[in-house]
Amino acid sequence: MKTSILTIMLTSASLCLANNPQLRADNIDEIIKNLTIEEKARLLVGRENSESDKGVPGAAGVTQDIPRLGIPSVVLTDGPAGVRISPTRKGDNATYYATGFPVGTALASTWNQELVENVGKAIGNETLEYGCDVLLAPGMNIHRTPLCGRNFEYYSEDPVVAGLIAAAYVNGVQSNKVGTSIKHFAVNSQETNRIEVDEIVSPRALREIYLRPFEISLRTSNPWTVMSSYNKLNGTWTQSSPELLKTILRDEWGYDGLVMTDWTNERRPSYERVAAGNALLTPGHDWQETDIIEHVKDGSLSMKDVDEQVKILLSMIVKTPRFNHYNFSNRPDLDAHAALTRQASTEGMVLLENRNNTLPLNKTGKVALFGKTSYDFIAGGTGSGNVNKPYVIDLKTGLTNAGFTIDPKLQDYYEAQKVLNDKIRAISGESSRYDEPAISRRNIEKLAADNDIAVITIGRQAGEGRDRDIDGDFNLTQNERELIENVAAAFHAVGKKLIVIMNMGNVMETASWKNIPDAILLAWQPGQEGGNSVADVLIGKESPSGKLTMTFPITISDIPAVNNFPTGTGPNNRRNGKNYDYSNHEEDIYVGYRYFTSFDKPVSYPFGYGLSYTEFKYSKPVVKATPDGFTASITVTNTGNREGKEAVQLYVSAPGKDMIKPARELKDFSKTSLLKPGQSETLTFTVSADDLASFNDEASQWQTEAGTYNIQFGASVDDIRAKAPYVQKKALTKKVNNVLSLKRELNTISPQ
């Protein structure tokens, strides 16, 4: 009897399966025909990972499964500096730490696309081996101002740097056959009121500055997904904008992957966002499924639009490791990745000052190590860009590992302060953020007598959901200033030196104090091996070759965009609890160095700047016209007495007859390998006529004017080492759709 019931059950089950085709890469259309509208809505709406028993603990989200058709749930996990999942699991003795890699600004500051691709490969491997399918990275929004809390996750003020670094990262991650998500598309330039703010941008600034990085990244990489951002753009939610997500992204740029929303919990019309081109609403709520079903039934959402997005989603799912039953190990090679992050982060560190060749230190010795961050090093930023790392090497440990002796009394003092600070944080939730404990001059003089050198770490933390303050954040605190001044005075009085380490993910004020220390190393937030990485650079085991991918202004008010940024001042933006609703991009295309060079304004450190332990000579360049623009080459020679790498930037100054143009714009960059003293390397560059174009708002077209262009090869935007002319014989125009236009008057600045 039992047997027969079992037989009947098995038969009916197999019949049932037989009636239900199982998803394969080549039968997606058939599957769609078999899906009910309820199932289609289920597919288009994700779920918090925590609400699913099919996810990976600590991951961000999952898609929903349809078991009867063999459609699995797949796992979406953050983030740009490493896989963000829970490091421990209830009832499980194993651990699931992921490697904390350098943050976005640190990776971009390497100017080394190959290195970034290698870091991406390692992060992609951890994504794969921890059972995830899509990494929600890279973050690649433009640094409109230094005050955006998430700049640490992003790459640059310049679209070419942001686009090429993002492409390298995507190719690295996806070489593991897992997906990425280029984000946040588009103009997600601030954290204050990010869910509501309406970014008011001219079509020219939109095309040339804010969309350009995404466009460039899609030329040389094919990210599985794009994440549409929270904000509005010229009056329309980006997530509900077919002009952005279909007309530009797909019709003009040819993107055929999946668009998912950023993690929106607000009750916005879900059917609109499916129609606009999102194939996945995340994190996802049941009311969104209902909304989709109801609007299909009342005809306001076409089944055609639904099926189009379901097809895109299924086309992504069939590529995932989970669909292909990859047997993930939960054991990526964390030791190898730790070594990789230790080396990679040194290449992004920027040597800002090095008076009388203070660095590299030619011997170890006794160090008076100041600054609470020296003992509590900041490896990365906060929010979804954080990583649950197995450890962080602080600077005290890194210097000790390198053979230095840390002054014990000073160490005890700071570590006692840390205990006190942690208690304050535990009680009040607030830590004293950056305030340094005061140290008397007398004690500092004693330390100068007892030690060989002084090191001060200035630390800054920032992250998702909050923008930075100016006082006490962008600017030094009074205690920090006094510490730098007093330590420099005491150590200089006895012929000893002071090194300042900047441990942050973003820009801060430097002009008022940069001439006090003997050396300044911008270490960024270098990942879990941070202290070792800094020590490697200080002792010359690694030569710093990082260069700034954003401008360090003299004061924050020198940046025009700050007038329209939520700093608690300015006509359009208020914080202190009051939401504001828009931000005018009156600076237009004059973001970063485009502003400072075109308006001839001084800066503290220019875009592209970074010192080395050696010097480089640039040869006479060769620029050759091609049918589609020009190629250029230049030979770089190490003329110093230490090895080093040099990142060379190719800028172009256009004739500027048909439109007002920035003084110069970066069009390509390349970096030498490690050159020994006397060694040379020839770098090549490629620039197309399209790359030379500017965007004409009125005509809604890209325009490459004919005439003589001045091609400049720079060690930074202000340090042009070689020039050559290029004649663009024919004027070119490329019409694009007149979309996302301004809905209101916008008074933009202009250098003329």
Which residues have C-beta within 8 Å of that of residue 207, sequence separation ≥ 6? 695, 702, 736
Q: What is the DSSP letter of 245?
A: I
Q: Which is nearer to ligand GLC, 383 or 610 (CB)?
A: 383
Q: Which is nearer to ligand GLC, 131 or 149 (CB)?
A: 149
Q: Tokens for 75, please give them.
A: 């796992």
For the chain, how are helix, strand and coil distributed in percent, rounded to 5? 35, 20, 45
Q: Which is nearer to ligand GLC, 264 or 584 (CB)?
A: 264
Residues 219 and 164: their CA atoms lie apart, in Å, by 9
721 three-class SS:
strand
- What is the nearest approach in angstroms of ligand GLC to the Cβ of residue 176? 19
Q: Which is nearer to ligand GLC, 136 or 521 (CB)?
A: 136
Q: How far apart are the first and last CA of the chain?
A: 93
Q: According to the binding rule CB under 6 A, does residue 202 interact with ligand GLC?
A: no
Q: Which is nearer to ligand GLC, 265 or 579 (CB)?
A: 265
Q: According to the binding rule CB under 6 A, does residue 237 interact with ligand GLC?
A: no
Are the C-beta atoms of 454 and 491 separated by less than 8 Å? Answer: yes
Q: Which is nearer to ligand GLC, 46 or 530 (CB)?
A: 46
Q: Which is nearer to ligand GLC, 172 or 283 (CB)?
A: 283
| Chain centre to alpha carbon of residue 27 | 37
Q: Tokens for 347, please give them.
A: 């290449």
Residues 513 and 351: their CA atoms lie apart, in Å, by 15
Which residues have C-beta within 8 Å of that of residue 50, sequence separation ≥ 6? none
Q: According to the binding rule CB under 6 A, does residue 278 interact with ligand GLC?
A: no
Catalytic residue among 198, 262, 407, 473: 262
Catalytic residue status for 262: yes
Q: Residues 183, 207, 389, 547: which binds ligand GLC (CB under 6 A)?
A: 183
Are the C-beta atoms of 556 and 147 separated by less than 8 Å? Answer: yes
**CA nearest 222: which of 157, 275, 169?**
169
Q: According to the binding rule CB under 6 A, does residue 78 interact with ligand GLC?
A: yes
Residue 11-50 contact track with ligand GLC, rule CB under 6 A, x = bound? ----------------------------------------
Q: What is the DSSP letter of 321?
A: T
Are the C-beta atoms of 379 and 530 separated by less than 8 Å? Answer: yes
Residue 629-658 contact track with ligand GLC, rule CB under 6 A, x = bound? ------------------------------
Q: Residues 126, 199, 262, 681: which binds ligand GLC (CB under 6 A)?
A: 262
Q: What is the dihedral of CA 277, 279, 285, 287, to 10 degrees?
A: 60
Q: What is the DSSP letter of 674?
A: P
Residues 169 and 79: their CA atoms lie apart, in Å, by 12
Q: Which is nearer to ligand GLC, 51 or 308 (CB)?
A: 51
Residues 582 and 222: their CA atoms lie apart, in Å, by 32
Which residues have C-beta within 8 Å of that of residue 338, sequence separation ≥ 6? 99, 528, 529
Q: According to the binding rule CB under 6 A, does residue 170 interact with ligand GLC?
A: no
Q: What is the DSSP letter of 22?
A: P
Q: Tokens for 565, please give them.
A: 């940024």
The sign of the torsion formed by the CA atoms of 18, 23, 26, 31 equals: positive
Q: What part of residues 567-586 is at the interface with ligand GLC (CB under 6 A)?
A: none
Q: Which is nearer to ligand GLC, 46 or 146 (CB)?
A: 46
DSSP conformation letters of 577-599:
T----EEE-TTTT--THHHHHHT
- What is the nearest approach in angstroms of ligand GLC to the Cβ of residue 658? 39
> Where would I find the H helices in 581-682?
593-598
Number of residues binding to ligand GLC, judged by CB under 6 A? 7
Q: Which is nearer to ligand GLC, 58 or 517 (CB)?
A: 58
Which residues have C-beta within 8 Å of that of residue 469, sequence separation ≥ 6? none
- What is the nearest approach in angstroms of ligand GLC to the Cβ of residue 400? 36
Q: Residues 263, 630, 651, 709: which binds ligand GLC (CB under 6 A)?
A: 263
Q: Which is nearer to ligand GLC, 384 or 598 (CB)?
A: 384
- What is the nearest approach in angstroms of ligand GLC to the Cβ of residue 198? 18
Q: According to the binding rule CB under 6 A, does residue 60 interact with ligand GLC?
A: yes
- What is the nearest approach in angstroms of ligand GLC to the Cβ of residue 229? 8
- What is the nearest approach in angstroms of ligand GLC to the Cβ of residue 494? 50
- What is the nearest approach in angstroms of ligand GLC to the Cβ of residue 227? 7
Q: What is the DSSP letter of 80?
A: T
- What is the nearest approach in angstroms of ligand GLC to the Cβ of residue 384? 4
The sign of the torsion formed by the CA atoms of 556, 559, 560, 564 equals: negative
- What is the nearest approach in angstroms of ligand GLC to the Cβ of residue 153? 8
Residue 332-371 contact track with ligand GLC, rule CB under 6 A, x = bound? ----------------------------------------
Looking at the DSSP bridge assignments, the partners of residue 712 are 651, 723
Q: According to the binding rule CB under 6 A, does residue 136 interact with ligand GLC?
A: yes
Residue 384-423 contact track with ligand GLC, rule CB under 6 A, x = bound? x---------------------------------------
Q: CB-hemisphere CA count at 13 Å for 148?
A: 25
Residues 412 and 114: their CA atoms lie apart, in Å, by 42
- What is the nearest approach in angstroms of ligand GLC to the Cβ of residue 426? 26
> Where would I find the H helices in 325-407?
334-348, 395-401
Q: Which is nearer to ligand GLC, 136 or 484 (CB)?
A: 136
Residues 733 and 265: their CA atoms lie apart, in Å, by 42
Residues 719 and 727: their CA atoms lie apart, in Å, by 23
How far lies 528's CA from each of 240, 378, 539, in Å? 39, 9, 19
- What is the nearest approach in angstroms of ligand GLC to the Cβ of residue 607? 25
Q: What is the DSSP letter of 675?
A: B
In degrees rounded to 5, what are phi and psi of residue 666?
-70, 135
Residues 201 and 605: their CA atoms lie apart, in Å, by 27
Q: What part of residues 530-549 is at the interface with ligand GLC (CB under 6 A)?
A: none
**CA nearest 607: which of 560, 664, 682, 528?**
664
Triad 674, 678, 683: Cα angle to 5°: 55
Are the C-beta atoms of 168 and 96 separated by less than 8 Å? Answer: no
- What is the nearest approach in angstroms of ligand GLC to the Cβ of residue 230? 7
Q: What part of residues 365-384 is at the interface with ligand GLC (CB under 6 A)?
A: 384
- What is the nearest approach in angstroms of ligand GLC to the Cβ of residue 263? 4
Q: Which is nearer to ligand GLC, 225 or 397 (CB)?
A: 225
Active site residues: 262
Site residues for ligand GLC per CB under 6 A = 60, 78, 136, 183, 262-263, 384
